[in-house]
């Protein structure tokens, strides 16, 4: 090479050579909405599961998510796990017609409640423009704190949830035992998904006590 000649920079690789170049990774980058970017630079939406039972506490968890955690592109599943229909003990001497009628009545009452819950949360999703939100009614009925908690964990794993948002009290007839302690504790201890617990405020505790007092008075 002559002394006055300069070496030209090599051309960028093309064809197979270009394909062999290691791809850039964007796993730890986030877009303007805070969503994680995959290796190709596309946003990966968060999958959020919010268990509800038809009580005000379940709605509070949904509202807390909307006001404090909501991100554009989130895929939100509002999960309702129905409790099975139960009947009090009836002596066989009373005949078969009575328990059948009671069963039908309680079953219809349960189905009505499930429809009301589904309609209510579908309305909440639509009114808050959560276009990627759905209400899922579990086909697996669960009775008791551990069964309900386990169902939440299983569902979170199934949909590959990124986070579970729960209120800390509620769940129907067993509300004294469940979200206030055992269900929340079980989910936190056994779920492979991070869990956010929304505590009950002092004002809400007062309302709970007032409702319990009114129920007790009406029963007497």
Rg (CA), the chain: 26
pLDDT tier at 43, thresholds 50, 70, 90: low
Q: Is the pLDDT of residue 11 over 50?
A: no
Q: What pLDDT score was predicted for residue 136? A: 94
| Per-residue pLDDT tens over the stretch 172-181 | 444 444 444 5
pLDDT of residue 205: 64
Pairing between β-strand 36-37 and β-strand 43-44 as defined by DSSP bridges: antiparallel
pTM equals 0.67
- For residues 23 and 194, what is the distance between their CA atoms, to the nearest angstrom? 31
Say how far residue 12 (Cα) sits from the centre of its chain.
49
Q: How confident is the model at residue 22 (pLDDT cuts 50, 70, 90)?
A: very low
Count Cβ neighbours within 10 Å for each residue of 91-129 and write b for 16 or more, e otherwise.
Answer: eeeeeeeeeeeeeeeeeeebeebeeebbebbeebbeebe
Q: What is the pLDDT of residues 176-216, one digit of tens each?
A: 444 445 788 889 889 999 999 988 776 666 666 677 777 67
Q: Tokens 């920079």 sit at which residue?
A: 9
The strand ranges marked E within the chain are 36-37, 43-44, 47-52, 75-80, 133-137, 163-167, 195-198
- Whether 53 contacts 80, CB under 8 Å: yes
Weakest-pLDDT range from 54-63, 95-104, 149-158:
95-104
Using DSSP, state whether 157 is helix, strand or coil: helix
């Amino acid at each position: 090479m002559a002394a006055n000649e300069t070496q030209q920079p090599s051309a960028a690789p093309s064809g197979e050579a270009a394909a062999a170049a290691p791809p850039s990774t964007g796993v730890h980058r986030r877009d303007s909405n805070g969503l994680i970017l995959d290796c190709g630079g596309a946003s990966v939406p968060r999958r959020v599961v919010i268990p509800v039972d038809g009580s005000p506490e379940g709605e509070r968890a949904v509202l807390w998510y909307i006001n404090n955690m909501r991100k554009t592109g989130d895929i939100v599943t509002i999960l309702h796990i129905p409790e099975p229909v139960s009947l009090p003990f009836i002596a066989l001497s009373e005949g078969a017609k009575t328990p059948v009628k009671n069963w039908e009545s309680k079953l219809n009452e349960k189905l009505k409640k499930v429809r009301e819950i589904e309609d209510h949360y579908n309305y909440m999703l639509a009114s808050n423009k959560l276009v990627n939100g759905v209400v899922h009614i579990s086909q697996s009925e669960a009775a008791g704190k551990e069964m309900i908690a386990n169902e939440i964990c299983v569902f979170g794993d199934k949909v590959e949830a990124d986070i579970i948002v729960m209120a800390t009290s509620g769940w129907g007839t067993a509300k004294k035992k469940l979200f206030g302690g055992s269900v929340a504790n079980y989910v936190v201890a056994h779920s492979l998904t991070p869990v956010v617990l929304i505590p009950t405020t002092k004002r809400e505790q007062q309302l709970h006590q007032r409702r319990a007092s009114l129920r007790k008075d009406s029963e007497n």
